[in-house]
């Protein structure tokens, strides 16, 4: 069964460094998302991406964040200058129609 | 921002019995709802969905009920199995927005006792 994959599974970085989280969505899906979950809190929407552009972003998704689909298979989330409060599980999700969204296993980002 | 609420943080059920997980929402524009199951250190796994044009959707042991007037949905698992032990999230979206941004509840930890 096709699934969303994410790399790395765990990323440790120092405050102020740039990180890129990678996702390979399910191949025939058209809608792509990033969500995050800070430890002990709920899953929060970050950004949605469709037709090679951002369709919506949350207030969390400020100028330090960017997304890209560079080659038709990967979908990346870049954090330009990480802060301590960026430490969280980051989940990529994809969908054929937008309705049912399938999540990857997540990347645990630890900012020290 | 508590647009989607799961008021029971945990629930314990005997194997073979029914598990009922509840979810309330406040935004009347929400018209599509999902339930996810999540094991520790894994991503949410999609379980079942329901559109606001229906009041029930069934898939095997899982049934979701939607009461639009009460802004309430519930997930029934019958019969419950030990492998169902996980955290369950409901999520809601306003499909007219076109972006399908889901708002998640805080989750209910289900423990099925053998």
| Domain spans of chain B, in order of start | 4-113
> Is the residue at A103 inside a domain?
no
CATH number at residue A12: 2.60.40.10
The answer to whether the Cβ–Cβ distance between B44 and A91 falls below 8 Å is: yes
The range of the structural domain enclosing residue A93 comes to 5-98
User: Does residue A36 fall inside a structural domain?
Assistant: yes
What pLDDT, on the 0 to 100 scale, is given for residue B1?
Answer: 60
Q: Judge: B34–A56 Cβ closer than 8 Å, yes or no.
A: no
Does B91 lie at the interface with A, CB-CB under 8 angstroms? yes
- What are A52's two structure tokens? 């090679």
- Chain A residues in contact with B91 by the CB 8 A cut-off are 43
Q: Specify if A111 maps to a domain.
A: no
Residue A105 lies in a domain: no
Residue of B nearest to A57 (CA): B101
A73 pLDDT band, cuts 50/70/90, is confident
Give me the CATH code for the B4-113 domain, please: 2.60.40.10
Assign A1 a pLDDT band (cuts: 50, 70, 90): confident
Written as tens digits, the pLDDT of chain B (114 aa) is 679 999 999 999 999 999 999 999 999 999 999 999 999 888 999 999 999 999 999 999 999 999 999 999 999 999 999 999 999 999 999 988 878 899 999 999 999 999
A107 belongs to a structural domain: no
Name the B residues in 71-90 with CB < 8 Å from any A CB: 89
Q: Is residue A104 part of a domain?
A: no
CB contact under 8 A, A104 and B89: no
**Is there a domain that residue A78 lies in?**
yes
Please give the tally of structural domains in chain A: 1
The label of the residue with tokens 């709920």 reads A42
């Amino acid at each position: 069964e096709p699934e969303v994959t994410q790399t790395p599974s765990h990323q440790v970085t120092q405050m102020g460094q740039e990180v890129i989280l990678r996702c390979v969505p399910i191949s025939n899906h058209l809608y792509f998302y990033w969500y995050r979950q800070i430890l002990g809190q709920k899953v929060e929407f970050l950004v949605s991406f469709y037709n090679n552009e951002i369709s919506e972003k949350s207030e969390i998704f400020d100028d330090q964040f960017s997304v890209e689909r560079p080659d038709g298979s990967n979908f990346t989330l870049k954090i330009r200058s990480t802060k301590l409060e960026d430490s969280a599980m980051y989940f990529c999700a994809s969908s054929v129609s937008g309705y049912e969204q399938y999540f990857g296993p997540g990347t645990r980002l630890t900012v020290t | 921002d508590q647009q989607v609420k799961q008021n029971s943080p945990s629930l314990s059920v005997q194997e073979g019995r029914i598990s009922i997980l509840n979810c309330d929402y406040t935004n009347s524009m929400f018209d599509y709802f999902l339930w996810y199951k999540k094991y520790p250190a894994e991503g949410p796994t999609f379980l079942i969905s329901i559109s606001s044009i229906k009041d029930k959707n069934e898939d095997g042991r899982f049934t979701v009920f939607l009461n639009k007037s009460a802004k309430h949905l519930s997930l029934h698992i019958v019969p419950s199995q030990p492998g169902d032990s996980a955290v369950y999230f409901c999520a809601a979206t306003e499909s007219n927005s076109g972006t399908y941004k889901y708002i998640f509840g805080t989750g209910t930890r289900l423990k099925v006792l053998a």
